[in-house]
Chains A and B, each alone.
Chain A
Amino acid sequence: MTPSPLPDRLDIYLAVAALLLAIGIFGLLRRRTLIGMLISGELIFSGASLNLMAFNRFKAPDPTVGQIFVLFIMGLAAAEIAIALSIIIAVYRNYRSVKTQDLAELNG
């Protein structure tokens, strides 16, 4: 049995998605500003979408389902970005900073 060509293998897509998830979690933990954390969250969204699309391509009987799911994820990510950025701008107006260490007023 010859190995299938590279773009037709499920595990490569899963590995790329896992890498995106790892980089996203790492950035989310390491970043010190709100916008940096938001960008890392987008990477995690992208990893989830890639997983969905990979399984949709190779295992799903109806290939439109995964595409519609990923479209909905993109829409929700866009809504999340809009809300989060407006919150970040409001926070910056009040605190003159978006560094997470300065936003510690609720710290017990």
Chain B
Amino acid sequence: MIVGAIFLLCVATTVVGALIAALTARIIRSVCGLAICCIGLAGLYYFLHSPFLALMEILIYVGAVCVTIIFAVMLAEPDEPVSEENPGSTVLWGGVALLVSVAIFWGLWHLGTHQNLAAPATRLTDGSVKAIGYSLLTAYSMAFELISLALLIAIIGALAIARTGRTKP
């Protein structure tokens, strides 16, 4: 009973945070909405039997991504201009977004329930942090190295891009 309540709380946190992130006019509130959404998402990952990913979600998204975005908000002043578009276009875009996501949801739901994707009888591993570590260093070691290389290049590229034009008045 209380597990279901906590689960619904996580779902509500995720959805409300996402709505705050997408709908508020001030960018700083939008960043806070993203942080709330990621905390709810971490709870959902915990319910999906992956406490390691819950920790990583909070560590990377709330701890790194949101803080970096806040730094960019402080450097540039990206407040939304007063929207001059008519509400009809908002309804149209909302309809487009709902249409796309409902189509994808229907496809995945059909795939998950109606196809012969039965739940596996036995699991190969238990999905613990130890098993993740073994997989990262054996089967996925190439992808692991490549992603570290991508992150290194991203850091260097970010430094190089953000540095240009600093001496201009």
Contact = CB atoms under 8 A, between A and B. Distances in A.
Question: A and B bound?
Answer: yes
Of the four ranges (under 10, 10 to 19, 20 to 34, 35 or more), the interface on chain B belongs to 35 or more
Interface in B35-86: 37-38, 41, 44-45, 47-50, 52-53, 56-57, 60-61, 64-65, 68-69, 71-73, 75-76, 78-81, 83
A58 B112 contact: yes
Given A16-B14, A63-B123, A82-B158, A39 B31 contact: yes
A1 to B, nearest CB: 14
Interface string A58-69: 111111110110
Q: Is the interface of A mostly helix, strand, loop or mixed?
A: helix
A22 B151 contact: no
B41 A85 contact: no
Of the four ranges (under 10, 10 to 19, 20 to 34, 35 or more), the interface on chain A belongs to 35 or more
Contact of A57 (B4, B37, B48): B48
Q: Is the interface of B mostly helix, strand, loop or mixed?
A: helix
19 contacts: A5-B3, A6-B8, A10-B112, A16-B14, A33-B80, A36-B27, A39-B31, A47-B101, A49-B41, A51-B108, A56-B48, A62-B125, A63-B50, A63-B123, A67-B132, A71-B53, A89-B75, A92-B75, A98-B78
Interface of A: 5-7, 10-27, 29-36, 38-40, 42-43, 46-47, 49-51, 53-65, 67-68, 70-72, 74-83, 85-90, 92-94, 98-99, 101
